[in-house]
């Protein structure tokens, strides 16, 4: 089987919705997605891209249609508990470095679930240090340990390296998926991702 990767940033609502669907695909295909933390702001900087909120803001009807498509996706996939974050956009630098730290502490999957919950299910302003600290404690993490680790040079470098390598492979936004060397962008490509997994299994 080729490696199946999910390149994500917590700040992308579409990446969150993909995260909610991935377990179903894993169950149907008997595979496991490798989650790769990247910094979306870094991706945008390296590619000259901008967030959809910025890009579509001045286009009449486009933002309304995007919201409609999100509602359809949520309904079609049976996703519950999703809420738009009223503090969006949230600077995700610290929480993405936290994902690298969580990998090193052996608690990555739980960290991803909890941060996503606090971003898109019970939305909080996670770029506020006090709010992030409270959220980490409430989720059962050692907030002081995380605060120290996200300042470690090797943690910072690892996130930068992930982001650079992802862009070099073709990434320009989040969510991005790779099945081996085949790239897919956007939550709506998950069906294609699943088909590719089955075809190459």
- pLDDT higher than 80, residue 87: yes
Place of tokens 């608690």: 107
Give every CB contact of residue 149 below 8 A, 6+ residues apart in sequence.
97, 98, 101, 104, 105, 155
CA distance 166 to 161: 8
pLDDT of residue 139: 96
Q: Are 9 and 96 in contact (CB under 8 A)?
A: yes
Q: What is the mean pLDDT of residues 58-87?
A: 90
Q: What is the mean pLDDT of residues 176-193?
A: 96
What the chain holds in terms of domains, given with CATH numbers, is 4-200 (3.40.30.10)
Tell me the percentage of the chain whose pLDDT exceeds 70.
99
Give every CB contact of residue 59 below 8 A, 6+ residues apart in sequence.
none
Average pLDDT, rounded, for the chain:
94
- pLDDT higher than 90, residue 67: no
Q: What tens digit of pLDDT does each residue of 18-63 get?
A: 999 999 999 999 999 999 999 999 999 999 887 777 776 778 898 8
CA distance 134 to 139: 9
CA distance 35 to 75: 25
pLDDT of residue 1: 83
Q: Higher-confidence residue: 102 or 62?
A: 102
pLDDT of residue 56: 67
């Amino acid at each position: 089987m080729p490696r199946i990767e999910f390149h994500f940033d917590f700040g992308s609502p579409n990446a969150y919705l993909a995260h909610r669907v991935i377990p179903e695909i894993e169950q149907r295909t008997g595979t496991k997605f490798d989650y790769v933390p990247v910094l979306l702001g870094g991706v945008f900087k390296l590619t000259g891209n901008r967030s959809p909120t910025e890009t579509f803001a001045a286009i009449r009807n486009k933002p309304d249609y995007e919201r409609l498509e999100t509602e359809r996706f949520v309904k079609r996939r049976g996703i519950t508990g999703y809420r738009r974050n009223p503090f969006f956009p949230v600077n995700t630098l610290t929480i993405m470095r936290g994902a690298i730290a969580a990998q090193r502490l052996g608690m990555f999957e739980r960290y991803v679930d909890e941060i996503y919950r606090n971003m898109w299910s019970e939305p909080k302003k996670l770029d506020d240090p006090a709010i992030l600290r409270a959220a980490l404690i409430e989720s059962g993490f050692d907030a002081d340990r995380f605060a120290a680790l996200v300042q470690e040079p090797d943690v910072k470098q690892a996130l930068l390296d992930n982001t650079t390598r992802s862009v070099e492979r073709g990434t320009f936004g989040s969510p991005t998926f790779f099945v081996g060397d085949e790239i897919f962008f956007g939550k709506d490509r998950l069906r294609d991702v699943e088909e590719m997994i089955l075809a190459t299994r």
